[in-house]
Structure 1
Amino acid sequence: MASTFPFAAIVGQDDMTLAIQVVAVDPSIGGVLVLGDRGTGKSTAVRALADLLPPIEVVSGCAYRCDPKRPAALCERCNPPEGQGRKARKNAVERRPVAVVDLPLGATEDRVVGALDLEKALSQGIKSFAPGLLAQAHRGFLYIDEVNLLDDHLVDLLIDVAASGENLVEREGLSLRHPARFVLVGSGNPEEGELRPQLLDRFGLAVQVRTPQDLALRVEVVRRRDAFERDPDAFRAQWQDANLALQQRIVKARKRLAAVQVSDALLTLCARLCQQLGTDGLRAELTLLRATRALAALLGHREVLPAHLRTLAPLALRHRLRRNPLDDADAGVRVERSLQEVLAA
């Protein structure tokens, strides 16, 4: 298995690394979309996400990584129906790394949702389900590189599962459902195609990355990448302490998240900003609430401040704006302009 570039060693692209850390603190924000130039470290940063995620408790042997602390969300194997040994079973618990699952562009629907296990069916005559990528990503992250090029039928499937939190399989004589709650993470180059609005809305934060123009920064990026490719193990060992420090920071932020206060005045600022920008629905306000609270926890603050809103509003709103034929400004510029007006009022 190939080594991943250490997250702590990523230099530059501050918005991207911040967005990934914020979502690692609170996955309910809804995921991260990273769009920008080729060769700017988009895939590198997302694949390094595993460095930030502490192991989780799962039911031992469960293909769906069920949470033993949530009995109501257990699959049928971990929580059989009445009369099938539910009371007699006591699930063992083990710790596993949080899954960061890649969904290739060329993946078939069977590979994504799961299908009949042909090997067992042919060799043993047993009708068994072979879980797909959605099952592997449960309680983890599903990563799609070049997400804007994903086939429409897979986009429809992802939208349905992301909305329900369950994967329903009806095929080849199989009829079952299993939990599939994951954080969607995507990257791509907007010049190669746009995302459908329904899928775009499922991403909590969107980051625009560009090729760095600072000469010293470019040299440092190349130096670190070259050192990693020459000796991945030595390079990862060099950054191990920094990665562990980042992981511990995420763990502490998760623990203090519930205690972070959000005032009515701050919520009013969020609502006024979204209203002024004309965002559809209320998902934008909810995303701002969760993201600013996660940022406050990450920074060790007890209350969400306007400074947190200023930092995250462009990431939470730029991809939710309608095109305005009378205003050709970049979406990020429009957010910044409205933000200044709202905070100054």
Structure 2
Amino acid sequence: MKLSHFNFNLPQDLLAEYPAENRDESRLMVLNRKDQTIEHKQFKDLIDYFEPNDVMVVNNTKVFPARLYGNKEKTGARIEVFLLRELNSETRLWDVLVDPARKIRIGNKLYFGDDESLVAEVIDNTTSRGRTLRFLYDGSYDEFRQKLNDLGETPLPKYIKRDAEPEDEERYQTIYAKNEGAVAAPTAGLHFSKHLMKRLEIKGVDFAEITLHVGLGTFNPVEVEDLSKHKMDSEEAYVTANAANTINNGIANKRRICAVGTTVMRALESSVSSERTLNEFRGWTNKFIFPPYDFSIANCMITNFHTPKSTLLMMVSAFAGHDFIKEAYEEAVKEKYKFYSYGDAMLII
């Protein structure tokens, strides 16, 4: 399939600026692949589609406050620094994006905080906007990381035009987030409330936690018409032996295995055995899933509504069927579902 197959008209007012008032009261579109039917529900109705010993696989990555603002030495120009990944904890090297990039050259220093107690020196250019920074801070590593947390802001996606608000710190994070390392939330999981998860557990649904640290590369635009030529950025992923066992037991018992989000699906499909079961995994994945694709692990998926020509839409189309997803998205636009990170959800069974 080609890039142009994944284009559609998305009205700007359907891009969600804020989350639903209550996590599990976002809207839920249910797609039944066998019957080719579409239902309109609330997210908390999810429980009606699962039975005891079905397995729900969630991504427990935790978003860190990756967006900082500093001032350039001498000129005092305000510079946005987006932390991508830590390269070396001992020397405090970080891979970052800077904006405006044209003002930032090797050797420049940036000062953060009112007291300018945190300083960073630019030591390398990596891409047009990418830089390698060495942070200079008089304190232990734990104190340094706390300083980053204190100065950083919740990294809301760029399509959200407002500034981050205090409640975003909690809402742009799943309730089961624990392993810090993501610069964007695994947004399908944002709809789960503690109450809904408890109800699912009482019903007998099993949960398996994997980790995939979401990077900005997930949202990079596809710039080639031939999808086979697109390269995904690598993201760090972990599938523990315990998670693999829970999922493999579900497969053996022919239960529903539900991937909560595209990040979970990518991690699962990156660690498949020759017997089409799940292996323990620790490493990096740049797997790009687009139609046609034969999925090995999950037979059910929860996902948000994605933007035109995105790799996320391509994966969902591969799972549900391109024509069915096209029909569902036309329905979503007509019914004014909210799209993207703070938007509504879709269950594909």
| Range class of TM-score, shorter chain | under 0.3
Higher helix share goes to which structure?
1
TM-score (norm 2): 0.25
- Relative contact order: is structure 1 or structure 2 higher (C-alpha 8 Å, sep ≥ 6)? 2
